[in-house]
Amino acid sequence: MTTDLVFREVATWNVFDANVRLGHSGVHGELVLETDDLLNEMDRLGIQRALVSHFAGEEYDAEEGNNLLAGECHERLTPAWAALPDLPFIQKLGARNPKAVRLSYGVKKHNFSWAPWCAGPLYEYLEENSVLTLVAREDIEWDSLSRLLGDYPRLQILLLETGYRAERYLFPLFKQHPNLHIETSTCVAHRQLESFVERFGPMRLVFGSRLPLYTAGAALAVLATARISDEARLAIAGGNLRRLLGRESP
Amino acid sequence: MRSPVPIFDCHGHLGVHPDFPAWKHSPEEMLQVMDLLNIEILAITSTRACYNDCPRGNAEVAEVLRKYPQRFRGYITVNPRPPGEALGEFARWSHFHRPPLIKLHPDCHQCPVNGDHYRPVWDFANQTHAVVLVHTWDSDPNCGPLLLGPIAREFSQARIIVGHSGVTWRGYEQSLAVAAEAPNTFLDITGSQSHRTILERAVARLGAHRVLFGSDMPFLEAAMLLGRVLSARISDEDKEKIFRANFESLLEEG
């Protein structure tokens, strides 16, 4: 029953985890992982790569968080940069040649409106440069998300931590907006993942663990036991994220 | 990926839920998933009873127990209101299991678990050495884990399962504090939040014999809980206790 044996199959999937954070946290102190410990945990459970943001960039200062994230660069870790809507920040962001950003609209985070009158120039930059845009569900209301997806149809949105009770919002949005994708760490209702695949195929689903707050073993087991094709499992495990980042073939 | 040990699962449901679609929730579909993951026994409570109607819900459980007696065990779910209904349900469904398995959902029923309404239920549980699964949530005025400490001491012959262990990180801390003081309490690990290291902390503080595998099927995904245990940094012996032996013992002891 040892962990490395149980999760051995995962190591063959080339997993690319879309929801990982690094660094010190003022909220989750005892759970954080420094880079070496994070890589060890990824190795233990068979995760190859991760899209990472920095707690400091979310909880404190976006630019400082990005500088700390840049200092932790590693071939297995792809940065999801913090981003603000003002033009000087967008210029600094552009200098980093971003492939992904993680927006934190919340009033206790970066406290800006999702709406075009406030964040329009940022969205135009992200859309123009094919930057994958991560947004946590708790930071945006469903009606606002619908407007955002419709107003910027070339902006690829990866909605994080949707919660497991969101189908009555997600399914209409999936039908109307091909630029919406969801991360799977909280898709934990009974047989939810395979039911999503049966209705919409695997291409809108992106594996995420929510490390270091959650154990990755939970989300990996959900994916491992979903009764879906091997092709669908590999797409969710990492192929879809690679495609969205535009770096590698699926 | 499946459990190497046939699981005795302390927390399952029967039925649908109001706020999101229920996928593959028939007893037959649940059995397919149980076979897939190697869950031998699932103790079920009626979701209808939790949300709306205990007598009708318990009757639905009775039908499943009649049809699949080798795979399911049944909780009698009771609402303390109207007064008297709970004791009637205990009498009506006394054949479900001995000792009785009782499910309380003070959140859905909007009644504090330590209030006067529940005293006849706790008296019955104490007299019958019942196993009582209580839904809990971090600091909730009706079902916060800390409310169970005085109950566990007063009704010391009842075996109390702290359902979901309070769910959140703080809820787990509250559940651990209660369980450390009350040996007749047990932590149920089902819940939507898979906090890293919390299972290890529970085993270190209480011992693995106080921790139970629960899936919440067909509400939550049982594989999530399977992965949580399999990936925990605890011994294989402890994992076997959590997967099976602990709840099996509770079912047998009276």
Q: What is the 3-state secondary structure (H, E, C) of B137-202?
A: CCCCCCCCHHHHHHHHHHCCCCEEEEEHHHCCHHHHHHHHHHHHHCCCEEEECCCCCCECCHHHHH
Rounded Cα gap, residues B27 and B13, in angstroms: 10
- Residue whose entry in the numeric block shows the structure tokens 């309070």: B166
Mean predicted confidence (pLDDT) in A194-205:
96
Chain B stretch 143-202, residues whose beta carbon is closer than 8 A to a beta carbon of chain A: 192-197
Instruction: Report the CATH number that the domain containing residue B90 is assigned in CATH.
Output: 3.20.20.140
Rounded Cα gap, residues A93 and A66, in angstroms: 9
CA separation (Å) from A155 to A129, A143, A242?
Answer: 9, 17, 16
Report which of A159, A168, A204 is spatially closest to residue A186, judged by C-alpha positions.
A159
Rounded Cα gap, residues A34 and A22, in angstroms: 6
- Residue whose entry in the numeric block shows the structure tokens 């968080």: A65
pLDDT value at position A97?
Answer: 95
Q: Indicate yes or no: CB of B221 within 8 angstroms of CB of A212.
A: no
Rounded Cα gap, residues A215 and B228, in angstroms: 7
pLDDT value at position B85?
Answer: 95
pLDDT value at position A250?
Answer: 36
Does CATH place domain A3-245 in 3.20.20.140?
yes
Render pLDDT for B53-63 as a digit per residue (tens, 0 to 9): 999 999 999 99
What is the pLDDT of chain B when averaged over all its residues? 96
Report which of A135, A82, A217, A173 is spatially closest to residue B3, judged by C-alpha positions.
A217
Residue B217, number of CB atoms within 10 A of its CB: 27
Strand order across the beta sheet in which B39-46 lies: B7-14, B39-46, B72-74
- Residues of chain A with Cβ-Cβ distance to B42 below 8 Å are none
Q: Is position B1 within any domain?
A: no
pLDDT value at position A6?
Answer: 77
Whether residue B167 is predicted with pLDDT greater than 90 in this model: the reply is: yes
Render pLDDT for A215-239 as a digit per residue (tens, 0 to 9): 999 999 999 999 999 999 999 999 9
Its domain, for residue B129, covers 7-252
How many structural domains does chain B have? 1
Tokens at A169, concatenated: 């919002």
Q: Indicate yes or no: CB of B20 within 8 angstroms of CB of A166.
A: yes
- Residue of B33, B224, B237, B244 for testing the chain A interface, max A β-carbons within 10 Å: B224
DSSP label at A156?
Answer: -
A39–chain B nearest CA distance, Å: 15
Mean predicted confidence (pLDDT) in B149-165:
97
Confidence of residue B29 (pLDDT cuts 50, 70, 90): very high
Contact A166, A188 (CB under 8 A): no
Q: Which of A7, A168, A227 has the CB atom closest to B20's CB atom?
A: A168
Render pLDDT for B58-84 as a digit per residue (tens, 0 to 9): 999 999 999 999 999 999 999 999 999
- Residues of chain B with Cβ-Cβ distance to A163 below 8 Å are 192
pLDDT value at position A2?
Answer: 65
| Burial status of residue B224 (CB atoms within 10 A of its CB: 0-12, 13-18, 19 or more) | buried
- Residues of chain B with Cβ-Cβ distance to A224 below 8 Å are 1, 223, 227
* pLDDT > 70: percent of chain A: 97
- Residue B100, preceding bond cis, omega within 30 degrees? no
The residue extents of the domains of chain A are 3-245
Whether residue A108 is predicted with pLDDT greater than 90 in this model: the reply is: no
Confidence of residue B157 (pLDDT cuts 50, 70, 90): very high
B224/A contact by beta carbon, under 8 A:
yes
Confidence of residue A7 (pLDDT cuts 50, 70, 90): confident
Confidence of residue B254 (pLDDT cuts 50, 70, 90): low
Helices (H), chain A: 3-6, 35-45, 55-59, 62-71, 87-95, 116-128, 142-151, 167-176, 192-200, 216-225, 230-234, 240-245
Q: Give the ipTM.
A: 0.95
- Angle of helix A142-151 versus helix A167-176 axis, rounded to 10: 10
Chain B residue with minimum CA distance to A8: B1
Let me know the angle formed at the C-alpha of B172 by B146 and B166, rounded to the nearest 5 degrees: 65
Whether residue A13 is predicted with pLDDT greater than 60 in this model: the reply is: yes
Contact A204, A198 (CB under 8 A): no
Report pTM. 0.95
Whether residue B149 is predicted with pLDDT greater than 50 in this model: the reply is: yes
Render pLDDT for B98-147 as a digit per residue (tens, 0 to 9): 999 999 999 999 999 999 999 999 999 999 999 999 999 999 999 999 99
pLDDT value at position A30?
Answer: 86
Tokens at A93, concatenated: 């962001």
Q: Indicate yes or no: CB of B231 within 8 angstroms of CB of A1.
A: no
List, in sequence order, every residue forming a beta bridge with B163; answer none if it has no partner: B135
Whether residue A106 is predicted with pLDDT greater than 90 in this model: the reply is: no
Mean predicted confidence (pLDDT) in B178-187:
98
What is the pLDDT of chain A when averaged over all its residues? 94
pLDDT value at position A249?
Answer: 42
Whether residue A3 is predicted with pLDDT greater than 80 in this model: the reply is: no
- Residue whose entry in the numeric block shows the structure tokens 């979901």: B164
